[in-house]
Amino acid sequence: MPTIAFAACVLLAAAVPSSAQQEVIAAIQVHGNTITPTEEVVSTSGLTEGSPFSELVRAAAETRLRSTRRFYRVDVLKRYASISDVTQIIVLIQVDDGPVRIDPPIPGPPGVPSSGRVPAAVRRGPLNLMFAPILSAEDGYGLTYGARFAIAGHRDTTRRVVVPLSWGGDKRAGVEFQKEFSGRIAPDIRTGALIQRRTHPFFDASADRRRIWARADWALSRRVRAGSELAWQRSTLVGERDDARSVGVDLVVDTRIDPLLPRNAIYARAAVERLRFSSAFAPRAPADSRSTVRTDLEANGYIGLYRGMVLALRAVREDMSAPAPAFYKSMLGGSSNLRGFRAGDSIGDTLAAGSAEIRIPVSSPLHVARFGTSVFMDVGATYDKGQRLRDQKLKRGIGGGVWATAPLFRISLVVARGLGSGTRVHFGAGVTF
C-alpha cells in the first residue's frame, strides 16, 4: 500500500504542472489578405486573444475559414510568442484572396476632390485565360502566324491547358495539358494531340501528320535536363501513309545565360528514339526496317573573342538505323544547317553537318535591342543506309549577314553562296516566350 500511495502522489504531482501549462492565445496575426479585412478574417476564424489554444482549436479555425470558400488557400499556424514562457502562443493565419484587380478612382480637376468611384477590388472570372502570339519566318516554309492560348485556374497555376493554333507555313491545331511538380525529382508532365500540315521543301508536296504524345521532363540541375516521350503518329507524304509508335529519351546540357546571344557557353543535346512502323510500311521496306532507332546529336560552343565578338561552332548528326519512310528522312539545306542551298536541297537517312561563325556585335551590350553582323562557313551531307560519310561529296556554303535581337524577338538576313550551287538569301524571324 505505501508503494501504491507513493506512485499515486508522483502521478498527481506530474499532472499538476501539466494543467498549469495550458497554452493561451497571446496574439493573432493575419497575412496575405488582399481585399478581406483583417478583423473579418479573425472573427470568421472564431479565435480570440486570451482563450485556450490546442491542436483541435487550430484545426477548427482552419476548417471555418475554408468553409467560407472565399479564399484560395488557408493555413492556420502555431508560433511561440516567447522562449521563456512556452504557454504564450501566436496564431498566424495565412490566407490567399487570389488574383484581384483594383479599380482606382477617376481623377478630377486639380484641387478638387475626385468624384469618381471608390477604389474597389474586383475578382477575376473562374478561368485564367492567357494568350501569346505565334509569329515566325522559317526558311523553306515561309511565314507562320497564329496564337497560343492557355487556360489555368487561379487556385493552382501549376496546371494548364494550352491550345496552339497557327496558319501559313505551318498549319497546326492542337491541345496540350501541362502539369508542374514542385518536388526535386518530380518531373514536369505534358501530354497532348495535334494535327499539322506543312509543304515539304524537297517534294514540294503537303506533309500531314496527326500525333498523340506524352512527355516527362526532369531538371537534374540548373544546366542539365532529361526527358522521355511516348507517341503515336500518322503521317502522309506523296501518297504514302505511315503509322508509327515511338518511345524516346533525351539529355540536354545548356550553360547559356542569354540563348539569343550566348557567350562562353555550350549547348549540347543527345536523343535516342525507337520507332515501330505499321504494316503499311512493310511492302516498301524489308521486315527489319519496321523497327528503327533514330539518334540526334547536336553540339554548340560559343567562345568569346575580342570586343564582344563570338566564335560559334556547331556540329549535327541525325541518323536512322534502317531505311525510313520519306516523311522521316533528314533534310539538308537552308538556314537550319547549310546556308547557300535551298531548304530541302537533299534528303537521306543520315545527315551530318557543321558550321563555324563569327558574330560581331555593333551595338552596346547594355542596350535592350542589339545589332550585329556575322560571317560563316557551313558544310554538310546526307546519304541513305548502306552508304558512308567518307564516300560523300560534302556541300559547302559561305556568306555573311546582319541580325538583331531584343527580348523575346530575333531577326536575321543572310546572303550565302553555295559552292557549285549559286547565291541565296535566307531570312528568319521569330517571337519566343
Each residue's pLDDT, cut to its tens digit, for the chain (433 residues) gives: 555 555 555 444 444 444 458 899 999 999 988 888 999 999 999 999 999 999 999 999 999 999 988 888 899 999 999 888 899 999 999 998 876 766 666 666 665 555 555 555 566 666 778 889 999 998 889 999 999 999 886 666 688 999 999 999 999 999 999 998 877 788 999 999 999 999 999 999 999 999 999 999 999 999 999 999 999 999 999 989 999 999 999 999 999 998 888 999 999 999 999 999 985 555 555 555 578 999 999 999 999 999 889 999 999 999 999 999 999 999 999 999 999 999 999 999 999 999 999 999 998 888 888 999 999 999 999 999 989 999 999 999 999 999 999 888 899 999 999 998 889 999 998 887 6
Distance CA 198, CA 183 (A): 39
> Is the CB of residue 351 less than 8 Å from the CB of residue 318?
yes
Handedness of CA 39, 43, 47, 51 (dihedral sign): positive
Does CATH number 3.10.20.310 belong to domain 20-96? yes
Distance between start and end Cα atoms, the chain = 82
Model confidence, pTM: 0.74
The region that residue 119 occupies, defined by phi over 0 for left and psi between -120 and 50 for alpha, beta otherwise, is beta
> Is the CB of residue 277 less than 8 Å from the CB of residue 291?
yes
Pick the CATH number of 129-431 from 2.60.40.10, 3.40.50.620, 2.40.160.50, 3.50.50.60: 2.40.160.50
138 - beta bridge partners? 142
Distance CA 128, CA 92 (A): 29
Distance CA 130, CA 99 (A): 14
Domain ranges, ordered by start, for the chain? 20-96, 129-431
